[in-house]
Structure 1
Amino acid sequence: MAKSLGPVKRKFSPWTDPSATPFIRFENITKRYGDFTAVDNLTLDIYEREFFSLLGPSGCGKTTLMRMLAGFEEPTSGRILLQGKDLSGVPPYRRPTNMMFQSYALFPHMTVEKNIAFGLEQDGLAKPEIKARVEEMLKLVKLEPFAKRKPAQLSGGQRQRVALARSLAKRPKVLLLDEPLGALDRKLREETQFELMDIQHTLGLTFLIVTHDQEEAMTVSDRIAVMDKGVVVQVAAPAEIYEGPNCRYVAEFIGDINILDCAVTENAGVCVHPGHPPLVRLESDGMKIAVEQECPASNGAKVAFAIRPEKVRISLDPPVETDVNTAHGEVWDIGYLGDFSVFLVRLDDGRILRAAQANVSRLVDRPITFGDMVWLTWPLDGGLVLTR
């Protein structure tokens, strides 16, 4: 088993404990709509108090999977277990889950406190308990001054908090979030992501979020399941997903990346440097590449070499005494993004490679500009070999 590289935000990794029991288990779940298979024989474990993300493009099956957990859809085959109990046939209102929808679905004629209290009143809780629970939720989402307002009198971010408070008021064991931040602007969305993490950590609940936003998933999650065409392609902590994708699909879906088609020229499985993985040598249209990585590919095998732009160093000066992990080309385009700049370099053979450079000074006129002939280099552990 690969060693997890994350999460960084807290010391929490029950999935690495062989004796840990999953809180939620999707067991061989398949969901078909006529001839279309939305979820295909999927098995997935989620642990208690985990902030777990289902990440993938539209139509990959992530929302269908969440709706089956909520009880809005029934699996064609397979079982969904919550704390070891089969949820088959249990209606949504009997499940210890609650869902927060992207549209928020607030009652426009009710005040904030009435919106939060609605589900509690439906459950027949005593009025003093409802009042205490509503006050607790208002304090949690920092909306005490807005208790008497109606949704139309709130900003988008405030409405999102009301929806969150209403979802949490019933104290579900699992909170399901379906693209919850999609309607917010970028700055507010980023702020709300950290607020969600704080609330989840404070309450100690299990959160399952569906999103197509990779940055959102990377920010909030303990682990991410990357989905494609109804199956889970990789499950890992955010850092591991980013730094160690297990296939070309995940590498291309998560962040920016350079991918070169290569052939293995040498894979002896021998450690060149003590304490480091074996050295694998590749060739890509005359470019010589060396990677420190354990790789099952044999000599002559067709593979892909993947490297993130921030691992690529760009310079006007040629590398010293090496022709490995280096490329030469012309600066074709530059994207200035404030905290860093992205250089698109057209190599001598016509291929485009990206290099990212942090803007550590306030210089506006950069030393490398359009049309410059530059050298790209990267370290032995900068990229990785993908065999599928």
Structure 2
Amino acid sequence: MAKTLGPVKRKFSPWTDAGQVPFIRFENVTKRFGPFTAVDNLTLNIYEREFFSLLGPSGCGKTTLMRMLAGFEEPTEGRILLQGQDLAGVPPYRRPTNMMFQSYALFPHMSVEKNIAFGLEQDNLPKGEVTARVEEMLKLVKLDSFAKRKPNQLSGGQRQRVALARSLAKRPKVLLLDEPLGALDRKLREETQFELMDIQTELGLTFLIVTHDQEEAMTVSDRIAVMDKGEIVQVATPAEIYEAPNSRYVADFIGDINIVEGRLQCRGEQSAVIGTDFTAVIDQPCDLADGASVAFAIRPEKVHISTEPPAETVTNAVYGEVWDIAYLGDFSVFIIKREDGLIFRAAQANVSRLVDRPITFGDMVWLSWTADAGLLLTR
């Protein structure tokens, strides 16, 4: 089994096993709206019981991809397979999928329990089974005591749970979530993310979520597909996406990062990025010829900041002025500007309750990092 970079939230990685058959497969899928190509010759495998995120900016094609899986749109070219079955021509109500919309789309005149029961009653399930299923869903989303209330009597978070319960009541094989937490405040959104993960694990379903919120995707996902202009740029676990982005686009899109352009110099098992009065040595072998245009990338939290020069054994260091500081509670971000205009960010955990900052605006400081902290980007 392939080694996974960084921490994983559970021992679950079917994508590393060549013998595993994908649960969902997008096969050379293209979707055009007139002259505009929303999804461009895309191939993607999603596995059973996976919590999978489609992440990207507005207009990148992620919602179109989800809508094609749900049956609301048909591919212009290519196939979409679910458990080996081609979904072409299968209407949405015949597919073993259900979608939870960003707006929740609850019926305002119905109680919570009636909203959850609606789809089951439309399927003509026996009354006893409907009642049992509704009770099960209410317990699952912790809304037992709110069964008789109307949506306008609930908070945003409670309405979100009702929409989730209604989506799960029909026991779909795949739950599709379209920006499901966008209307919630930050604290509630963070709490709900963990609740979604617990529910998905408990039910053993496959979840596919569309989001532009990088933190949300990093929190809930087993894997993430980063999209841009209708194409998938990288598919990997959250840790791999963050620690080993495969391009400047992914590195810059996920989290905060310093990126410096330069020329490649091969040094055996190491590489160096040579810029204007700047050299960064990286523990990464060369895969391009000397002189190639490349970039050096490093996350701010991997950069050490100090008013004292680093030890002579430190390979990578720059000197500059503290231009700005962002205090974010658990950590602070320092914006450092060199004389040549090159700007670096360094993040420092606030591990003690300091009244006076040891480093403040206008200070001249040293930034340093180890050779294994940075990354060489070749595209």
**What range is the shorter-chain TM-score in?**
over 0.9
Listed one character per residue, the Cα deviations across residues 10-32 of structure 1 (whole Å, up to 9, x for unaligned) are 00000000100000000000000
CA distance in structure 1 between the partners assigned to 2:101 and 2:224 by the alignment: 20
Residue type of the partner of 2:316?
Answer: N
Normalising by structure 1, report the TM-score.
0.96
| Change in CA separation of 1:127 and 1:6 when aligned onto 2, cut-off 3 Å | farther
CA distance in structure 2 between the partners assigned to 1:244 and 1:90 by the alignment: 39
Which aligned pairs between 1:169-318 and structure 2 lie closer than 5 A? 169-268=169-268, 278-318=269-309
Q: CA deviation at 1:265?
A: 2.2
| Change in CA separation of 1:288 and 1:357 when aligned onto 2, cut-off 3 Å | same
1:56 aligns with 56
Listed one character per residue, the Cα deviations across residues 74-124 of structure 1 (whole Å, up to 9, x for unaligned) are 000000000000000000000000000000000000000000000000000
Normalising by structure 2, report the TM-score.
0.98
CA distance in structure 1 between the partners assigned to 2:211 and 2:86 by the alignment: 26
State the secondary structure of the residue aligned to 1:283.
Answer: strand
Q: CA deviation at 1:283?
A: 1.2
CA distance in structure 1 between the partners assigned to 2:125 and 2:2 by the alignment: 48
Contact 1:7 1:237 in 2 (8 A): no
1:167 aligns with 167
Contact 2:266 2:285 in 1 (8 A): no
Structure 1: tracts of 5 or more residues without a match? 269-277
Paired residues, what number? 379
1:375 aligns with 366
Residue type of the partner of 1:178?
Answer: D
1:319 aligns with 310
Listed one character per residue, the Cα deviations across residues 214-269 of structure 1 (whole Å, up to 9, x for unaligned) are 0000000000000000000000000000000000000000000000001112243x
CA distance in structure 1 between the partners assigned to 2:144 and 2:254 by the alignment: 38
CA distance in structure 1 between the partners assigned to 2:339 and 2:276 by the alignment: 11
Q: CA deviation at 1:379?
A: 0.5
| Change in CA separation of 1:7 and 1:361 when aligned onto 2, cut-off 3 Å | closer
Listed one character per residue, the Cα deviations across residues 158-197 of structure 1 (whole Å, up to 9, x for unaligned) are 0000000000000000000000000000000000000000
Q: CA deviation at 1:299?
A: 1.0
State the secondary structure of the residue aligned to 2:345.
Answer: strand
State the secondary structure of the residue aligned to 1:219.
Answer: helix
Contact 2:314 2:370 in 1 (8 A): no
Listed one character per residue, the Cα deviations across residues 299-345 of structure 1 (whole Å, up to 9, x for unaligned) are 11110000000000000001122573110000000000000000000
State the secondary structure of the residue aligned to 1:32.
Answer: strand
Residue type of the partner of 2:265?
Answer: T
State the secondary structure of the residue aligned to 2:280.
Answer: strand
Which aligned pairs between 1:127-146 and structure 2 lie closer than 5 A? 127-146=127-146
2:18 aligns with 18
Verify: 1:333 aligned to 2:295, yes or no: no
1:36 aligns with 36
CA distance in structure 1 between the partners assigned to 2:17 and 2:61 by the alignment: 28
Contact 1:267 1:299 in 2 (8 A): no
Q: CA deviation at 1:2?
A: 7.4
Contact 1:267 1:297 in 2 (8 A): no
| Change in CA separation of 1:265 and 1:294 when aligned onto 2, cut-off 3 Å | closer
Q: CA deviation at 1:4?
A: 2.5
CA distance in structure 2 between the partners assigned to 1:362 and 1:263 by the alignment: 42
Contact 2:310 2:368 in 1 (8 A): yes
1:149 aligns with 149
CA distance in structure 1 between the partners assigned to 2:240 and 2:281 by the alignment: 21
State the secondary structure of the residue aligned to 2:149.
Answer: coil
State the secondary structure of the residue aligned to 1:282.
Answer: strand
1:110 aligns with 110
Seq. identity, % = 79
Indicate the larger mover: 40-49 or 346-355: 346-355
| Change in CA separation of 1:169 and 1:156 when aligned onto 2, cut-off 3 Å | same
Contact 2:38 2:64 in 1 (8 A): yes
Cα RMSD (Å): 1.1
CA distance in structure 2 between the partners assigned to 1:282 and 1:206 by the alignment: 42
Structure 2: tracts of 5 or more residues without a match? none
2:378 aligns with 387
Contact 2:29 2:40 in 1 (8 A): yes
CA distance in structure 2 between the partners assigned to 1:225 and 1:94 by the alignment: 27
Residue type of the partner of 1:293?
Answer: Q
